[in-house]
Structure 1
Amino acid sequence: MKVLVVHNRYRSEQPSGENNVVDAEVALLAAGGVQVSLFERRSDDIASMSLPQKAFVPLQVPWNRSARAALAARLQVERPDVVHVHNTFPLLSPSVLAACADARVPVVATLHNYGMVCPPGTLYRDGRICTDCVGHTPVPAVKHGCYRSSAVATVPMAANLTLNRSRWHSGVTRFFCISDAQRRLLVDAGMPASRMTVKHNFVTDPGVRRTGAGSHVLFLGRLTEEKGVPLLMAAWERLGGSLGLPLVIAGTGPLSDSVAAWAASRSDVSYVGLQDKASCQALTADAAAVVAPSAWLEAFGLVVVEAMAAGVPTVAPSHGAFTELISDGVTGQLYSPGSAPALADALRDVLADADRNQKMGDAARQRYDEDFTPAVGFRRLVEGYEAAIAAA
């Protein structure tokens, strides 16, 4: 099987789970004997463009003729059996679907977020979950400047969504949704249910697992409001050191300075900043629990599965993909979304009994072995490709 992966890489200055997923899948396919190649653009390249070129980038978000032509040339030379599209923003555009249609190559597309129904792909605005654009023309997104808090910056994304909705629906043979929660929402918004299947992201076995009770509670991720950092801080204040374990916060983002100042004022909080992969794995394996307090509807939740692989239970809100990733009271603890008291109670519960905590960690690892290993990920990828090829 020959697969061409199409992806616009996000900026390297901020960690991207989507970039990591694409890299992991490409490596997995190659290791499994699939002939896989990459057609990429990099958002980092925008910084080195001339001012006229930079000004032209937003105009190409809905349709990029040069990207279409370049992909068409690649398809003519390589003649893949299937094209796997990931992100097309901002340097590729849905014009890549037209190139595939011209070459009569079936397309599989992974939906990493809610970009098919929400211009910034987050379903989050002004500190709350927002579905104003779901199933409608995305005028509210422009009105509220949902991308980078700018109406002007949001216009190209809203235009992209509006102008290319039917092309996505007709030009993709099979969609990979990364959770059932995401699939249900998108189908309800009008996407073609018969061509949408759930393929969870996989996680490579970290090679390290928790061996004791754990020495801290861990938050690992971008320090933003939507990731629930302010909620976590409020919940931790309510606990007042009663857990007997410190909170370790690893990551970076817009709230880095406020988190660092808050951590410096407390003896039970440690802010360690951005960590490399090995350090993140070590921090996870040494955790009594991992907390993922996202305020938005996570389409997946990679940090939860990474904790599963290390045999560590997770605390998360009962919305989005978390309800299918976490078995409440079995592999982790769910709480009422947006409630600091509920989050504090869930943290108490998951740590109250060491034996129960250990059993939850063991159950989490078992769930990982069943559903999220590279072997499972490879099988589901190939099954999806074969189904798309057969349908075409």
Structure 2
Amino acid sequence: MVGLLLIAGLAHAGDCSLGSQLQRAETAILSLDLDGGQAALDEAKERFACGATPNEDLARYWLLVAAHAEFSGRSERVEDALVAARASNPSVYLNALGPDLEARWKVAKSREGSATVLLVDLPEGYEVRVDGNIADPGSIRPGFHVVQAAGGDHGWGRVVRASSGDSIQLSTDLPALPKVVAVAPTPVPDPVQPPEPEEPRPPRPPREPREAGLVGLHAALGLSSAFGEGYGNEPATKLGPQVEVGLVLRPADAVWLRAAVMGDVLLGGAWSYFGAGEVKTLPLGIGLLAGGGITLGENLDVGALTGMQLPGRIPVRALGRYHVNDLLGVELRAGINLGTPDDSGMRLEPAASLHATLTL
């Protein structure tokens, strides 16, 4: 048998709380004003049409229904009301109702069996609640239940008392909700991203200045050239590899001195010199160079070199050396070679060379 305890029609789905009605019902019932308590409970029940009553309020409602039934001598309703209270929210109890009712509430269990409930004409878009909890209608246990639906500004609610085996069909008479037409957003073209600026290369760390008074090893490998007249096997354009090994001294932070021995080979000929009234040749030129200069900034040395080169030349050079790092450098030299006197007088040869240097 199906008991329909409340039919609530269309209503505005707004504030669905039952606070004031339940407070008046509790005060009246505890004062044994059973008529006043029933009137307040009826007012609370009418508000189920809101469609979304908080489950805490539903639990308080059913506890007060149980207390009213107990004081009215309607004991057959007490157990079902306590079960409905626990189904709505098992953590809510009204201490003012006393320990005896609380003890029965703690052990209240649904009756065996099941029933079904179906909303036959519910339009799309409504949210359905059973005993204050969002759920699709379907199988329910025997006893009291609150079935509600809410959507937009509309609400509906009904209390049913189901017995095992019941099949309950409920009509809501709720209007269809306006359909929300999804409007596709106007595509926004991707913004043109400016090219990412190139990260500036980090500046090379400055070369650490060498300590004053430090003696180091100097080595150089390069290509030398000189231009003059040809004698014997010596061509007019003198080109060949050159090797140097020596020492470098820094008497002050920005001052350097160098002394080195050198050797070079002439490509396409041999070195020529005058001796004993005739032209003689040597396959290998050797010599001694000495000089000095200063350091400009962090990476540039400038200075001059001179010395003696056998056979028969005195090299005079201005130089500039760029420090690639603390060990390696590139050195450019330019100047003249002074030849030893011969029958035609002192020979002059413009000369230049490029060297890779190593300083330890």
TM norm structure 1? 0.22
| Greater RCO (CA < 8 Å, at least 6 residues apart) | 1
| TM-score where L is the length of structure 2 | 0.23
Give 1 or 2: higher helix fraction: 1
Structure (1/2) with the larger strand percentage: 2
